[in-house]
Amino acid sequence: MNIERLASWLQITANIGILGGLILVGFQLQQNGEILKAQMLSAESRSVIDQEMQIIGEEGATAWVSAMSDPNNVSPEHHRIMEAIYWSTIESWRHTEQLANSDLVDVDPLSRVTQEAAFYFGNTYGRAWWAVRRDGALISDELKKIVDEEINTRPNYTVDIHDQLIAEIRRLSKAK
């Protein structure tokens, strides 16, 4: 009798163990699916950004300075480089937004766009580019609204921050 009772309890315990194992396997499969999705999103986004970075090449800084200092006279080559810079930025925002919406990262895409939008688009060239390309940007309307607000609030941020940096460098140089 005791052996039958023990065997019965062992069978119940084994069944509970098997059920627990199946539940853990289910969770593992779900996590693997989420990881695969994140890897696929990252690879797709990375390929777009890499392609744009190849276009930027070694002329990126020169094109940026040209667009900031004389936006009315940007060469076609520099215009294409600026396109690559801006599209890469937007693609990066889109990727962050997708990962956050999938609960794969604990990052607020809205705060990232708030921090970066004025730097990239807070200048004459950037505002013009955004006005022309805004509707083609593959980001949510919520993120577009943030970019709009940031460049309306800080329309010359890129140039202003540069001027502040130069003034601080001069101040520190005089203090020596």
pLDDT tens digits, residue range 141-170? 999 999 999 999 999 999 999 999 999 999
Whether 79 is covered by a domain: the verdict is yes
Contact 155, 122 (CB under 8 A): yes
Whether 52 is covered by a domain: the verdict is yes
Whether 130 is covered by a domain: the verdict is yes
Number of domains in the chain: 1
Name the amino acid, one letter, at 162.
Answer: H
What pLDDT is stored for residue 51 in this prediction? 65
| CA 106 – CA 23 distance, rounded (Å) | 25
| Domain of residue 96, residue span | 42-175
Query: Could you tell me the pTM of the whole model?
Result: 0.71
Contact 155, 125 (CB under 8 A): no
Whether 133 is covered by a domain: the verdict is yes
pLDDT in tens, 116-143: 999 999 999 999 999 999 998 888 899 9
